[in-house]
Amino acid sequence: MLGNLDRLDELVSSPRNAGVLLQANAIGAFGGIRWGDAVKLMLRVDPATDRIEQARFQAFGCSSSIAAASAVTELITGKTLDDAAALGAADIADDLGGLPAARMYCAVMAYEALQTAITSYRGIAALREADAAPSCKCLGVSQMMIERTIRFNRLTSLEQVTHYTKAAGSCSSCFKQVEGLLARVNAEMVEDGLIDAGAAYQLGSTQQRAVDLKPHGAPQPAANIFSGKAAPAHLRAMPKSPPPRPATAQAPVAGTIDALPLTSLVAEALEDLRPHLQRDGGDCELVSVEGNVVYVRLSGNCVGCQLSSVTLSGVQARLADKLGRPLRVVPVS
């Protein structure tokens, strides 16, 4: 639920504690390019008192993600690790004056990064084996993360699970798995007295989503709407051109052999990334590729954003991951 929007607007327009903390001795991260948002939290902890002296963050994603990461740095600075570990995603959302239901994953993301930082500082081994099998393969959301979020936030509907974790929010092929997980965890929460039996999720009580709603059966032949007359000229295929003559073999020109494929790959990678930027009112278009330097033009909310460098870092990481080679992304006006 949204309350005072001034706090959210304040941290979106002027994020606190953004940037790298070189003296950090506790670092936690959550999310990724596939998830659509990512945050890295860096803490400087006094080993004598276990008190957090300083906290900074880097984030990639929507404005609410940046605001949530900024808020958590302010909430935990000066606190002991025990007090910081007791914070929940709801506390982060409350500090922002509330978040839209569909953006609650932003508070969860900041919470997960904080818990990871504290766990790593204390040298507690992460349960990697249990986290290795994602329930939502599209977005890489693990069963452990979903179950933890259901319990800590007392979620009782599949819509809430998607809003808090993004699970089952893409192709919905994991819908049944997530539904079964929610029903089981809710049943355990009823036994523990955390929720009423009437509020617990019941299997089959939610309409199945995209993958199940697709029409099934053999494809039906389409009727010819132009029967008895020719199709309009703009819908008819263009006549085939005669095959080109074999080109005379020429010596390759240095520096141009992979120029076109590289540009196409960069353009393809950027097209995959643009919907995430456009969702927050920003955009990024390819201008040119020269060697290992990719020139892009930012627009919309990305222009003048104090975290545009973080956005560019995310674009750069995405391109490097896609192309398997380091590239430098440079903005142009």
Which residues does the annotation place in the binding site? 62, 106, 136, 138, 171, 174
Q: CB of 267 within 8 A of CB of 286?
A: yes
If DSSP codes are grouped into helix, strand and coil, which group holds residue 100? coil
Using alpha carbons, select from 203, 197, 152 the residue that is nearest to residue 175.
203
Q: Would you give the DSSP letter of residue 103? A: G
Residue type, 57: F
Q: CB of 146 within 8 A of CB of 178?
A: yes
For residue 219, is it left (φ>0), alpha (ψ between -120 and 50) or beta? beta
Known binding-site residues for Fe cation equal: 62, 106
Q: CB of 296 within 8 A of CB of 303?
A: no
The token duo for 166 is 């993004």
Characterize the bridge pairing of strands 328-331 and 293-300. parallel
Known binding-site residues for [2Fe-2S] cluster equal: 136, 138, 171, 174
The token duo for 129 is 């084996």
* Distance of alpha carbon 61 from alpha carbon 47, whole angstroms: 32
Tell me how many degrees the CA angle 254-319-329 measures, rounded to the nearest 5.
75
Q: Would you give the DSSP letter of residue 195? A: S
* Distance of alpha carbon 186 from alpha carbon 194, whole angstroms: 9
- Residue 295 to residues 270, 280, 298: CA-CA distances in angstroms? 12, 22, 10
The token duo for 225 is 């709407």
